[in-house]
Amino acid sequence: MSLMQSIRENAQRLSKCIVLPEGTEERTLKAADFVLKENIARIILIGNKAEIEQKSHQFGLQFIRNARIIDPQNNPDKEKLATLLFEIRKSKGISMEEAMQLTEDPLYLATLLIKTGEADGEVAGAMNATGNVLRPAFQIVKTLPGISVVSGAFFMIFKDNPYVPGNILVFADCAVHPDPTASELAEIAVSTALTAMSIAGIEPRVAMLSFSTRGSAKHVLCDKVVEATRIAREKAPWLQIDGELQADAAIVESVGMHKAPGSQIAGKANVLVFPSLESGNIAYKLVQRLAGAEAIGPVLQGMAAPINDLSRGCSVSDIVNLIAITATQASGESK
């Protein structure tokens, strides 16, 4: 069974409630209909009820009637949610009037529904840029205890690639935090290892990537990766991790043995932590296009409740997959 099939089946068992703030968007509606038909999750759609009903009819969607619809312009809970938002953000200078206005923004409304416990997770981004999806999440849902930084992992799925014995590599951060400090990079490593375990049942072997292996180059950027590795070991003594390693030393056994003799990770890594968002984002897109790997994600990690961001070029199937992943994250259970 493929990774996505098993995640979808697992989600069916969990019956989590996922809120979709782009509730009138065509691909989102089609994905919601499929998710409801297959019982992958319960769904809240945010949007104008008449428009959702009209489009469901137009696209021949049979199961949307099982979704809960919340119209942000006509929401009986508006004042209650605005008060909640005001309480959370008053130290940052928000006024009650601004809070009332923001509850009409579907992306803010979705995160407030997570905060009240009405939804277990959120999937958005088919129409909105990453920053717009993430900002309300950072402001309202915030990070897990002990985590200061949210990051985004990709599951890169390969077919018969000699460097990927288990067919899956996990890459991070490919989506969120442009220039992490050593301490933040250490958090990203721990979060990514946990994501690899909880979503795919992978036993993580983490390589902290750089342009240097074991001091082969001297530069402050390499020092940062060495320091991040030290902090990650301190934070998570159970974690199998090594760095700094070059990418070839991380995944090619013969190169790993040569450049980092004695390392338990070199040549065997299945979780690759990149030193910056630039390198991670560029790497996942090149591997996806040039090596033909399927890229599943970004799976956002470190948030107190799961909120995941779609690419605006996403397909209906991408949305269904991300809803299933979000439901799995919401359960907090390992596979």
Binding footprint of ligand ACO on the chain (CB under 6 A): 92, 130-131, 134-135, 138-139, 143, 149-150, 174-178, 281, 298, 311
Residues 6+ apart with CB under 8 A from 113: 19, 44, 70, 81, 119
Q: Toward ligand ACO, which CB reaches closer, 78 or 89?
A: 89
Q: Toward ligand ACO, which CB reaches closer, 179 or 203?
A: 179
Alpha helices in the chain (DSSP H): 3-14, 26-37, 49-59, 78-89, 96-102, 106-115, 130-136, 182-200, 220-235, 247-251, 253-259, 277-290, 316-331
Query: For residues 45-69, b (16+ Cβ closer than 10 Å) or e, as one string?
Result: bbbbeeebeebbeeeebebbeebeb
- Strands 151-157 and 168-172 come out as antiparallel
Q: Look up tokens 């696209």; give the residue.
A: 59
Q: How far is the CB of 126 from ligand ACO (least distance, A)?
A: 13
Alpha-carbon span 265 to 193, nearest angstrom: 13
Q: How far is the CB of 105 from ligand ACO (least distance, A)?
A: 14
**Around Cβ 166, how many Cβ atoms within 10 Å?**
10
Alpha-carbon span 246 to 33, nearest angstrom: 45
Q: How far is the CB of 91 from ligand ACO (least distance, A)?
A: 9
- The angle subtended at Cα 272 by Cα 270 and Cα 273, nearest 5°, is 150
Alpha-carbon span 157 to 324, nearest angstrom: 17
Q: How far is the CB of 294 from ligand ACO (least distance, A)?
A: 14
Q: How far is the CB of 148 from ligand ACO (least distance, A)?
A: 7
Q: How far is the CB of 22 from ligand ACO (least distance, A)?
A: 16
Q: Toward ligand ACO, which CB reaches closer, 151 or 270?
A: 151
Local structure of residue 21 (DSSP, 8 states): S
Q: Toward ligand ACO, which CB reaches closer, 81 or 134?
A: 134
Residues 6+ apart with CB under 8 A from 66: 36, 43
Bridge partner list, 307: 122
Q: Toward ligand ACO, which CB reaches closer, 69 or 170?
A: 170
Alpha-carbon span 216 to 25, nearest angstrom: 51
Q: Toward ligand ACO, which CB reaches closer, 74 or 148?
A: 148
Q: How far is the CB of 279 from ligand ACO (least distance, A)?
A: 13
- Residue 237: HSE in the Cβ half-sphere, 13 Å Cα cutoff: 0
Q: Toward ligand ACO, which CB reaches closer, 140 or 193?
A: 140
Q: How far is the CB of 142 from ligand ACO (least distance, A)?
A: 7
Q: Toward ligand ACO, which CB reaches closer, 175 or 269?
A: 175
Q: How far is the CB of 70 from ligand ACO (least distance, A)?
A: 25
Sign of CA dihedral 274, 278, 279, 282: positive
Q: Toward ligand ACO, which CB reaches closer, 6 or 311?
A: 311
